[in-house]
A and B are shown apart, each in its own frame.
Chain A
Amino acid sequence: MLLLLAPLLVTPSPGDDDWTIQAATVHTVSGAPIENGFVRVQGGKIAAVGKGGGGATLECAAVTPGLIDLALGIDTGPLSVEQSSETAARLRASEGLDLFSYRWERALRSGITTALAQPADYDVIGGLGLVLKTGGAPTLAARLVKPEACLRGAFGAQPSNGNSIPRFQEPQSFYFRRPTTRMGVEWVFRKAFHDTLQGQGEDDPATAADHAVLRRVLAGELPLVVQAKATQDVRTAIYLKEEFGIPRMVLDHAIEAWREPELLKRSGVAVILPPFTADGRHADGFVNDSYFLPLDAARKLHEWGVPFALSAHEGAGAGARLADQAAAAQRGGLPLAAALEAVTLTPARLLGVEARVGSLEAGKDADLVLWNGPPLQPTSRIIGVLLQGRLVLDPRSK
């Protein structure tokens, strides 16, 4: 009887998290920008996007989707990756996260609402990455977007750094092992994929679990996101992609990818660019390597049709903001629309989360960035951020 008395229809009353944002320009990313448009937010989702509109609760010069960084690098450092083996495909970055770190809040206030978290690059194959929101309650359940979004690996000199051959000491440390060179790193990658295809060593449950993950990579279910900074690392990664037929590969921190246009176009890899530096030089503190990234690298990738994302590498301690990277890329000749896509929809697509984030469309998460001028310009500032409809940076506060 009591059940019958309960209201059959529950109409949501306008809550604290319902907004109508009016902007001189609404940058939807998925479609053309809308002049004098609005975005209506209800229950944490985008309810409508359109022209005109009244009853604004928030106003700004421009509104864009929340930014997405695939190389935010907020991890627990060495504790985020199991170094007792060079390959740990089965292990999850989600189990080593520190969601209490103040750096999440800093990223969120700089406009980054979604990020990829991965193990740090101390292994050749480090483990599974996840996509999560940068704010909300500090629990995985509250922030998770996609639990197993990619497999992380690293080429180059970094994963072999620290390994050595026992010359004068007893080999009591697991760091006495391969790889110790770039050749060795490639060998470990090749062996992992080769053993997976052959089903070798799967009596060991850990190896079997690693291979299960690698099979998902080979089937195209999981993208393989690999660090490949130098030209030779970009080439090695692409050769491996082609040899094993890895469908989805993303080259992260690909400082010198711009040197290999033919390989990039031929192989269909995607690229994550690291922050730009004032003089284009990138020194590597880990190893004795140096690289060069010109300001027009992003423009080149755009012209060649190579999918690419920009990144701030917040965790690297550079303090670079993602929005500033998009501004720098424009100085190098990248059009605004492409710059915006490189920090929103493209990274969402690379990780397969574009159904939820990456553009301003009805039904997507209400992750919005409000600007006081044209977005992604050195002269503009982020004045408001909404995360799933919750106002985390209030444009009305001075």
Chain B
Amino acid sequence: MSLALLALALAGGEPSAPREGVLQIQAAEIWTSGGERIQDGLLLVEDGRVRAVSKGKQPDPGLPLVRHAGVVTAGLIGLRSQAGAGGELQDDTRSVLPEAHAVHAFDPSHPDVARALAAGITALELAPGPGNVVGGLACVVKTSGGRVLTSEASLALSLTSAALGRSTGPSFFVFGAGEAQAQPDGGPESSERTPRGNREPTSYAGALALLRRSFAAGEGPFARARRGDLAVTIEAWDRHEVLRAVELARELGLAGAVRGAPLAGDPALVQALKESKLGVIVGPYSSGQTRPSLESVKTLAAAGIPVAFALGDPARSPQGLRLSAARALRAGAPAAAVWKALTEDAAKLAGVGASLGTLAAGREADFVLWSGDPLDLQSRVAAVYVDGRRAWPAQGH
């Protein structure tokens, strides 16, 4: 089928019979991946997947065609989203919940999801909160059509103070100060803490012991993570927490990402991360972010460490994803690296790098039509396509 289509496409000129699920997008510029930009490009989509991206090719007159004077890119990916999950992603009853699936908190018809779509975000990673040493399994979902790409994208771990000394429930006399950080939003970059919860573990050493015990048991997600079949995301904020996470990943052979780490650009951390199989999910960046924190995208990218931005919605507008990117750009990160962080690296760190993040033959046909350079905040979203279908603005608008 695809071969036949490819042959047709190569032949050109000859009009084909219109078929369901086939679409051509002709654009002034198509960004296929981090660095590659095709002028006068033609994107061919069939059955929700990219069939081909070609340069300077005439569209097939027999197939539906959308002409766009701006830029077409892969859809943005929103990591660590809580869209529509309404606080259902943090279960305080236990410290270790390997089989908790974030997908059960996903409401595809929630307005938060539609807002992400309108911001050019075609996929969201919903992840269990940072309050548990083992939070559960993150999922990756589409922002239109309600499709769950995978309900087991990565295993959420936490080695930050929010998971230590936590309480099993609200109480007037026992509480964890760390709980204030349960929804990290870009800071603080270092702080004194006095957790006084009633749940094990209360310490870094206790958390490591618990994790080693869990992974040694060698069942379910733990075994898959050790085999390399399942990515992990480790919450780690302060610099020493990041080093601890890297050390644990090395010890257990885990791959994935560190999440948080405002100061991930510290030379000691860059060196450790470089030798690990971990990337970094930074941000979301706020206006109060410090310079060393903003510069970490530049430093990490230069060291070849995959880096991506957390979304932090719905507390923050999903439009803020591009704002985080703009702040990293202003702090000196190259445009190609920042674009990768929004798409390709984000997909990789979410554990779905084989399906999302680039526009290449066989990838999911999730893409955005921008009025201009998407890294320029003046550019607007003209249209968003998910699974090869126009999702925003809705048909008929």
Enumerate chain A interface residues (CB-CB to B < 8 A).
Answer: 76-84, 88, 90-93, 95-101, 119, 127, 137-139, 162, 172-175, 206
Contact = CB atoms under 8 A, between A and B. Distances in A.
Interface residues of B, number: 32
Interface of B is mostly: loop
A82 B201 CA distance: 6
Interface string B6-35: 000000000000000000000000000000
24 contacts: A77-B192, A78-B195, A79-B161, A79-B193, A80-B203, A80-B204, A82-B202, A83-B203, A84-B201, A84-B206, A88-B205, A90-B209, A92-B205, A95-B204, A95-B205, A96-B204, A98-B238, A100-B238, A100-B266, A119-B203, A119-B205, A174-B198, A174-B199, A174-B200
B196 A162 contact: yes
Contacts of B208: 95
Interface stretch (B54-62, B239-247, B287-295, B362-370): B239-247
A81 B209 CA distance: 12
B8 to A, nearest CB: 59
Contacts of A76: 204, 240
B201 A139 contact: no
Given A76-B240, A84-B201, 10 more contacts: A77-B192, A79-B203, A80-B205, A83-B202, A84-B202, A95-B244, A99-B243, A139-B268, A172-B168, A175-B174
Given A91-B205, A174-B200, A78 B192 contact: no
A57 B84 CA distance: 67
A128 to B, nearest CB: 9
B165 A79 contact: yes
Contacts of A90: 209
B230 interface: no
Most buried by A among B161, B240, B272: B240
A118 to B, nearest CB: 12
B193 A78 contact: yes
Contact of B206 (A91, A138, A162, A172): A91
B198 A91 contact: no
B384 interface: no
Contacts of B167: 173
Interface string B177-206: 000000000000010111110111111111
Contact of B205 (A96, A173, A174): A96
A172 B198 contact: yes
A77 to B, nearest CB: 6
A276 to B, nearest CB: 26
Contacts of A137: 268
A91 B200 CA distance: 14
Contacts of B204: 76, 79-80, 95-96
- The list of the 4 closest CB pairs from A to B, nearest first, reads A173-B198, A82-B206, A84-B200, A96-B204
Nearest to B192: A77
A84 B164 CA distance: 11
Nearest to A92: B205
Nearest to A120: B203
Contact of A98 (B200, B206, B209, B240): B240
A91 B202 contact: no
Contacts of B196: 78, 162
Contacts of B200: 82, 84, 174
Nearest to B173: A169
